[in-house]
Structure 1
Amino acid sequence: MTDTEMLLAKYDDQMRGAPPTLAAGLVHEQDGPLLRIVGQHRGLVTGPRDLGVRGTELDRLIARQRDYFAGRGEALEWKTRGHDTPADVVDRLRAAGFVPEDRETVLIGRTEELAVRQPALPRGVALRRVTADADMRRIAAMESAVWGGDWSWLADDLIGRVAADPGEIAIHVAEADGEVVSAAWLVFRGGTEFAGLWGGSTLADWRGQGIYRSLVAVRARLAADRGVRYLHVDASDDSAPILLRLGFRAVTTTTPYVWTPPGS
């Protein structure tokens, strides 16, 4: 088994089930092979590497998820991975009205290797770990500016995670003159060798200056201090090259397929 195959096997074994801690108001349910998380800004469905169903049985499973969230008037994200089987699940999702969003690369890095050195920050920029509700709203406002949409739901999500278990999430902002210019968070996953890196969006004027790399390094150090062996990231095309240069290994891809209620 190659190193990449070993990392992918660990990912499949440890990162596919229900998270050990859910924010207040969220619940997870099992529907056959699928894990369904309900109560966030849109529903989430994910499954094992092999769903174990084929053909019309798979079509019925897909329709059942769509109809469940249609009854709630909510959108639904079905998280697919590039190495999953059956391979035609994505064709069947499209046929059921799901639309793919941008594909991301699943990267895994060894924590100790990533925690060695933190690059210098630009003059006037400082990193700060935050827990206050007001800071979560500032993060959401920054994300809205970066992506040109309404990301106010993110504040509620982060506030809920901190309230549910403040020891399982570490949120950092990069600030300049009191403005949040970037933010990222580390999510621990009890009972596994992994923690996840999330966020990392940066305002356009502050990109390419080492802020993203600094946020990776500070979170890697936190994870190493907790004895976490691996960091995993669902990386966009913008961040993947940076992370690969830092020593992450690409193990597969992930693409969200989203169904949205008519008229939403």
Structure 2
Amino acid sequence: MQHTLLDAYDSQLRTSSEMLRVSNTGRHGPLWFALFPGGHGFVTYESLDGADEAGIAELVDAALEHFGARSDVEDIEWKTRAHDVAPGLHEALVSRGFAPEESESIMIGEAALLAQASPMPAGVEIRQVRDEAEIWAMEKMQGTVFADPGWEARAQATVAEWSAGSDIGLWIALVDGDVVSAGRLEPVADTDFAGLWGGATLQQWRGRGTYRGLTARRARSALLQGKKYLNADCTELSRPILERSGLVKVSTTTPYIRRQPST
């Protein structure tokens, strides 16, 4: 089961699927490059199989050359996965100024299994957002949970995306009109996947089935859109919550970040 899920992840959720909302991209051998808003460079690939240590070092140099030619790049992320065969990659990245950040678990589950209904706390209503005010309330709650001082900028971006007719689903759990839990459902075009992102629940509503119910509703929505799998990247703190919801850890991903030197 885990092997099947990991194969689906590698074949469907890497490279082109990671570039769907990016206009500025590039290629070099197996590498795919993207530049996200705010000057964030990004490097990914489906596989580096067949490359030895020298070849991988050359690929890292090619990425630095690609982004180094641009003045609008603030930092570069090289996204690694623990199950990849990439001899010497860690050493090549670190020796060129990249630093590893916290690893996250790659979680995948079958939408049909995750869609099964579970008991909900009394008084909890789960549905999609209906207006901009609910988006602001959702983002404020998530900003509180994650201690994110930049939640207002993220809220503005989410409102703009929602107003433009994005296919991303914004789901909330409400109690007496207040948002107590929330999460996104992001269908990935031309794949069997939809992503679960942005999950957050207020402390007093954790451990009561609220987030599990939110996951089930998003899973049912994914099934209606023809999606077979749900995926998420999460910290070790969140992993047990997703496992209780039915997702399986198939690997880990670690971002290596290089801050571009000031000119």
Distance, in Å, in 2 between the alignment partners of 1:247 and 1:255 is 23
| Bigger mean CA deviation after superposition, 241-250 or 217-226 | 241-250
- How far 1:109 moved relative to its partner? 0.9
Distance, in Å, in 2 between the alignment partners of 1:236 and 1:20 is 20
Distance, in Å, in 2 between the alignment partners of 1:156 and 1:78 is 28
1:18 aligned counterpart, secondary structure: helix
Change (3 A) 1:78 1:135: farther
Partner of 2:65: 64
Residues 40 and 157 in structure 1, CA contact (< 8 A), matched pair in contact too: no
Task: Work out whether 1:251 is the aligned partner of 2:250.
Answer: yes
Change (3 A) 1:206 1:260: farther
Partner of 1:84: 84
Amino acid at match of 2:9: Y
Q: Spell out the pairing of 1:1-264 with structure 2 (5 A cutoff).
A: 3-19=1-17, 22-23=20-21, 26-32=22-28, 33-41=30-38, 42-50=40-48, 53=51, 54-64=55-65, 67=68, 71-121=71-121, 123-130=122-129, 132-149=131-148, 150-163=150-163, 165-166=165-166, 168-261=167-260
Q: Can you list the C-alpha shifts for 1:197-239, whole angstroms capped at 9, x where unaligned?
A: 1111222232222221111100011111222111111122122
- How far 1:9 moved relative to its partner? 1.2
Change (3 A) 1:13 1:164: farther
Distance, in Å, in 1 between the alignment partners of 2:163 and 2:16 is 19
Distance, in Å, in 1 between the alignment partners of 2:50 and 2:64 is 16
Amino acid at match of 1:17: T
Distance, in Å, in 2 between the alignment partners of 1:45 and 1:153 is 25
Distance, in Å, in 2 between the alignment partners of 1:93 and 1:240 is 27
2:257 aligned counterpart, secondary structure: strand
- How far 1:188 moved relative to its partner? 0.7
Amino acid at match of 2:96: A
Tell me the TM-score normalized by structure 2. Answer: 0.84
1:142 aligned counterpart, secondary structure: helix
Residues 168 and 187 in structure 2, CA contact (< 8 A), matched pair in contact too: yes
Structure 1 unaligned residues grouped into runs of 5+: none
Distance, in Å, in 1 between the alignment partners of 2:3 and 2:126 is 35
Distance, in Å, in 1 between the alignment partners of 2:5 and 2:68 is 35
Change (3 A) 1:96 1:161: farther
Q: Can you list the C-alpha shifts for 1:88-114, whole angstroms capped at 9, x where unaligned?
A: 323322222223222111121111111
2:173 aligned counterpart, secondary structure: strand
List, as ranges, runs of 4+ consecutive aligned residues in structure 1 with deviation greater than 4 Å: 20-23
Tell me the TM-score normalized by structure 1. Answer: 0.83
Change (3 A) 1:156 1:17: farther
Change (3 A) 1:162 1:35: farther
Change (3 A) 1:60 1:176: same
